[in-house]
Amino acid sequence: MRTPSKPLLLPGGGYRRLKSFQIARLVYDLTCRFVELYVDPASRTCDQMTQAARSGVQNIAEGSVDGRTSRKLELNLTNVARGSLEELKLDYEDFLRRRNLASWPSQHPALIRLRELRISTLADFQEWAAGSRAETSAAYSEIAANGILSLLNLAILLLERQRAAQIRDFERNGGFSEHLSGVRKRALSGSR
């Protein structure tokens, strides 16, 4: 009796379900809107912020898909995504610092409310920002930058956890080459 064979490709490619992808994509949408409103379109910063946000999203997706044939590449692209989002985080921190705007602590009431709302769309974020404006009387640019920084911190934390899970999976199950070797050995032993 022949044993059922494992699929040739490793599981992967479900990046749209990853919370890290969802938050990074929201950060990308928010960043595109933010630079339209608050950053000189002719500046290098405008392009850098947009590209760093885009890179975070794209590398999560690419890593998830490429992980079907290379756990090493998946882990590398997860690191690239994290690095891109860290770069973007620095741009938002610089924006606040260079304009003498407040950098809010994580326990700021508006940021606590942001986390509680589990915002997932640009419209949700705009509604949160409007409510925060009434509560804090801070400039919209300060509110938006601090809110996006909070979301970036969440995305980076999720990518750290994702990377740790990828490492544990590799340690337990190996990579694609080991998987292929196992599939081949099972095929050979089943044909005898």
CB 68 within 8 A of CB 12: yes
pLDDT of res. 159: 97
What was the pLDDT predicted at 15?
Answer: 87
The answer to whether residue 188 sits within a structural domain is no
Distance CA 38, CA 30 (A): 12
CA dihedral 116→118→121→125, nearest 10 degrees, is 20
Residue 147, domain member (yes or no): yes
Q: Say if 5 falls within a structural domain.
A: no
Give the amino acid at 63: G
Classify residue 6: in a domain, yes or no.
no
Judge whether 3 lies within some domain. Answer: no
Question: What is the pLDDT at residue 5?
Answer: 56
**Contacts for 169-177 with beta carbons within 8 Å, 24 or more apart?**
169/71, 170/71, 170/75, 174/71, 175/70, 175/71, 175/72, 176/10, 176/68, 176/69, 176/70, 176/71
Single pTM value for the model: 0.86
Q: So what's the pLDDT on residue 151?
A: 98
Report the number of distinct structural domains present in the chain.
1
Question: Which residue has 């997706």 as its token pair?
Answer: 61
In a domain, 62, yes or no: yes
Amino acid 3: pLDDT? 47
- Asked whether residue 66 is domain-assigned, the answer is yes
Q: Is residue 9 situated within a structural domain?
A: no
CATH number at residue 59: 1.20.1440.60
Give the pLDDT score at 170: 82
Write out the chain's pLDDT in tens, 192 residues: 444 456 555 456 688 899 999 999 999 999 999 999 999 999 999 999 999 999 999 999 999 888 777 888 899 999 999 999 999 999 999 999 999 999 999 999 999 999 999 999 999 999 999 999 999 889 999 999 999 999 999 999 999 999 999 888 888 876 556 655 566 567 667 765
Domain, as residue range, for 163:
15-181
